């Protein structure tokens, strides 16, 4: 007989093929499990042109058979002729991905993910992505659920136009009508976020996340939380950074219960992250995070969980972290109250102050004001002079304090002010790390001028004295350009007290400004005020003249 040997080898395969249609499900299952044997015997071309079309239509079968089929197809790349032809496996897997049995769909998706790696980028765009799009826009929620698992595997290697389409499909599925689809999308959120470019993560994923986290269907929250946890522990620091950066939004989305149970540990981890950027981003959120904790447990949570992490951060080596923290520590004082602040926050604050910080601009100043006044008040109440001294040795703090002196004024005693702080300004002037007069002009000029017209005499007096010292430091020319015009300008003020301040300033400044300035600029003003309608002013003119006399040339 022709091909007798061939017949023998064909026979078992023929049996297998016939049994694909056997009524006994076990025999069918057996044949499906040996599909690779059949494919080998048929060869790559017949496998592609005959076997696969047959398998595509055989979806009217028992779950076990379909499951086995879905699994087999995931390993069939070689049997269809290699990566060049791997896309031939897509049609049968596509129909398996729409079957009502979840296990079969999941296996089909798993196989699709496997073979996606074997597709060339061109094949991805020509064959794979259209499949994903068909599933994503399918009528039945089964196909849309399956689509969710396929976005992340094809995204990285396609063109940016196609990427945009994929992102759009994902967005649509996150807000699908059917809860099961939203659930599937939510569970793939983290995975998809990993392959997205960071900008898109921020613009797309975070809004999707917050929407899903507050979805009506409760178990969506439960699904999304693992994603958040995973993202917070992600290997890529960029993902963790993003989580830290958006933490307060996330907190709002998930609500107080989940915050207590899940977000607090996640936040702690972010504060201890190995990447400085992540720690800094988290540190920036400490105040907001703490503010949004549920009221009943806020203090406990902060004291037990957050504060220990913050304490560690204070001795962080990274500048960004420390400066982020500076703003936050004092922010907590309003939440924790005076006692906790003094006992716990203040030491941290002092540690910070001891620190050598090189970049002045890194310390945000404004938010310090309110809490700072509280701190400084307590400082003056309870800490020793030494502490105060070394506090003011820190240029950073001095600058901050000084820049917030308006608040500080209200809380600390005049004595303190004149004894410690104003000299601190002088100290600043000496500070090598200062950027010089421009800096002073910008930040402190208006302040000093404000002190001059403070309603408390002692302050005006102290300010005047201060001004004098500044002129000593910065020089007469600087004084002439900046201070003197302002001081002299006050001579026209409607409030007589301000006019008198001018005189006191002149008294103080004449010595340091020198003869020329005194004669040319100050004297005329003094003389003009001699005809002031307020007697007290005229009286002080006389005194001024006595004072400045020695510095005027014609009185030699």
Query: Tokens 């031939």 label which residue?
Result: 88
Among 27, 40, 42, 276, binds other proteins (CB under 8 A): 42
Nearest residue (CB) to other proteins, 20 versus 231: 20
11 binds other proteins (CB under 8 A): yes
465 and 508 Cβ atoms separated by less than 8 Å:
yes
Among 27, 78, 162, 180, binds other proteins (CB under 8 A): 180
The residues, ordered by sequence, that sit 6+ positions from 185 with a Cβ below 8 Å of its Cβ are 148, 170, 173, 174, 176, 208, 212
Cα separation, 146 vs 53, in Å, equals 21
519 and 483 Cβ atoms separated by less than 8 Å:
no
Copy the structure tokens of residue 210: 């917050």
Binding to other proteins (CB under 8 A) within 97-126 occurs at 98-100, 102
Q: Which one of the spans 8-16, 334-342, 426-434, 477-485 is the region binding other proteins (CB under 8 A)? A: 8-16
Dihedral of CA 503/506/508/511: which sign? negative
Shortest distance (Å) from residue 11 CB to other proteins:
5
The residues, ordered by sequence, that sit 6+ positions from 476 with a Cβ below 8 Å of its Cβ are 512, 513, 514, 516, 517
Nearest residue (CB) to other proteins, 53 versus 308: 53
Among 37, 120, 217, 334, binds other proteins (CB under 8 A): 217
338 binds other proteins (CB under 8 A): no
Burial class (CB in 10 A: 0-12, 13-18, 19+), 189: buried
140 binds other proteins (CB under 8 A): yes
DSSP string, 188-215: THHHHHHHS-HHHIIIIIHHHHHHHHT-
Query: Tokens 């037990």 label which residue?
Result: 304
- Nearest alpha carbon to residue 473 among 425, 531, 519: 425
Q: Which one of the spans 64-72, 121-129, 156-164, 211-219 is the region binding other proteins (CB under 8 A)? A: 211-219
46 binds other proteins (CB under 8 A): yes
Among 21, 338, 435, 538, binds other proteins (CB under 8 A): 21
58 binds other proteins (CB under 8 A): yes
Dihedral of CA 39/45/47/50: which sign? negative
Query: Tokens 């398996």 label which residue?
Result: 96
H or E element in which residue 447 lies: helix 445-452
41 binds other proteins (CB under 8 A): yes
Shortest distance (Å) from residue 96 CB to other proteins:
11
CA dihedral 473, 363, 393, 474 (to 10 degrees): 0
24 binds other proteins (CB under 8 A): no
2 binds other proteins (CB under 8 A): yes
H or E element in which residue 33 lies: helix 25-33
Copy the structure tokens of residue 141: 């929620």
Among 13, 198, 437, 453, binds other proteins (CB under 8 A): 13
15 binds other proteins (CB under 8 A): yes
45 binds other proteins (CB under 8 A): no
Nearest residue (CB) to other proteins, 2 versus 535: 2
Nearest residue (CB) to other proteins, 20 versus 205: 20
Shortest distance (Å) from residue 154 CB to other proteins:
23
5 binds other proteins (CB under 8 A): no
Among 72, 111, 116, 142, binds other proteins (CB under 8 A): 142
141 binds other proteins (CB under 8 A): yes
The residues, ordered by sequence, that sit 6+ positions from 314 with a Cβ below 8 Å of its Cβ are 322, 325, 329, 348, 351, 352
Shortest distance (Å) from residue 50 CB to other proteins:
4
Shortest distance (Å) from residue 283 CB to other proteins:
37
178 binds other proteins (CB under 8 A): yes
- The size of the interface with other proteins (CB under 8 A), counted in residues, is 39
The residues binding other proteins (CB under 8 A) are 1-4, 6-7, 10-11, 13-15, 17-18, 20-21, 41-42, 46, 50-51, 53-54, 57-58, 60, 98-100, 102, 140-143, 178-180, 216-218
């Amino acid at each position: 007989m022709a091909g007798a040997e061939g017949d023998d080898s064909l026979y078992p395969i023929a049996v297998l093929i016939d049994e694909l249609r056997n009524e006994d499900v076990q025999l069918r299952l057996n044949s499906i499990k040996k599909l690779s044997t059949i494919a080998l015997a048929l060869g790559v071309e017949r496998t592609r042109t005959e076997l696969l079309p047959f398998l595509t239509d055989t979806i009217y079968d028992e779950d076990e058979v379909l499951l086995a089929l879905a699994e087999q197809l995931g390993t069939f790349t070689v049997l269809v002729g290699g990566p060049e032809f791997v896309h031939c496996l897509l049609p049968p897997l596509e129909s398996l991905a729409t079957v009502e049995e979840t296990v079969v769909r999941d296996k089909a998706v798993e196989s699709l993910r496997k073979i996606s790696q074997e597709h060339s980028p061109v094949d991805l765009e020509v064959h794979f992505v259209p499949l994903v799009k068909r599933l994503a826009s399918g009528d039945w929620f089964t196909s849309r659920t399956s689509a969710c698992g396929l976005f992340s595997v094809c995204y990285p290697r396609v063109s940016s136009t196609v990427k945009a389409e994929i992102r759009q499909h994902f967005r649509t599925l996150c807000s699908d009508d059917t809860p099961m689809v939203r659930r599937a999308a939510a569970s793939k959120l983290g995975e998809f976020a990993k392959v997205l470019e960071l900008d898109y993560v921020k613009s797309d994923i975070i809004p999707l996340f917050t929407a899903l986290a507050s979805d009506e269907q409760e178990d969506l929250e439960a699904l999304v939380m693992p994603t958040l946890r995973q993202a917070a522990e992600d290997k890529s620091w960029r993902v963790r950074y993003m989580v830290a950066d958006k933490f307060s939004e996330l907190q709002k989305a998930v609500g107080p219960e989940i915050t207590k149970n899940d977000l607090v540990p996640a936040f702690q981890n972010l504060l201890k992250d190995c990447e400085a950027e992540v720690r800094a981003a988290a540190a920036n959120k400490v105040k907001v995070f703490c503010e949004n904790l549920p009221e009943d447990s806020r203090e406990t949570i902060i004291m037990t969980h957050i504060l220990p992490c913050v304490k560690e951060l204070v001795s962080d080596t990274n500048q960004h972290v420390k400066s982020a923290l500076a703003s936050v520590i004092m922010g907590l004082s309003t939440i924790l109250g005076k006692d906790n602040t003094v006992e716990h926050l203040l030491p941290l604050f002092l540690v910070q102050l001891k620190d050598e910080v090189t970049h002045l601009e890194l310390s945000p100043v404004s938010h310090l004001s309110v809490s700072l006044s509280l701190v400084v008040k307590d400082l003056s109440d309870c800490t020793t002079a030494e502490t105060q001294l070394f506090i003011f040795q820190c240029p950073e703090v001095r600058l901050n304090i000084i820049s917030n002196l308006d608040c500080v004024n209200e809380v600390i005693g005049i004595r303190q002010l004149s004894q410690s702080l104003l000299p601190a300004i002088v100290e600043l002037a000496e500070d090598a790390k200062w950027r010089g007069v421009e800096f002073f002009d910008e930040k402190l000029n208006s302040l000093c001028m404000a002190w001059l017209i403070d309603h408390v005499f002692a302050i005006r007096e102290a300010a005047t004295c201060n001004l004098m010292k500044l002129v000593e430091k910065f020089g007469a020319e600087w004084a002439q350009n900046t201070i003197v015009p302002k001081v002299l300008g006050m001579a026209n003020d409607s409030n007589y007290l301000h006019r008198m301040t001018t005189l006191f300033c002149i008294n103080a400044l004449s010595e340091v400004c020198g003869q020329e300035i005194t004669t040319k600029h100050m004297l005329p003003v003094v003389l003009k005020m001699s005809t002031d309608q307020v007697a007290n002013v005229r009286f002080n003119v006389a005194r001024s003249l006595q004072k400045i006399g020695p510095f005027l040339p014609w009185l030699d």
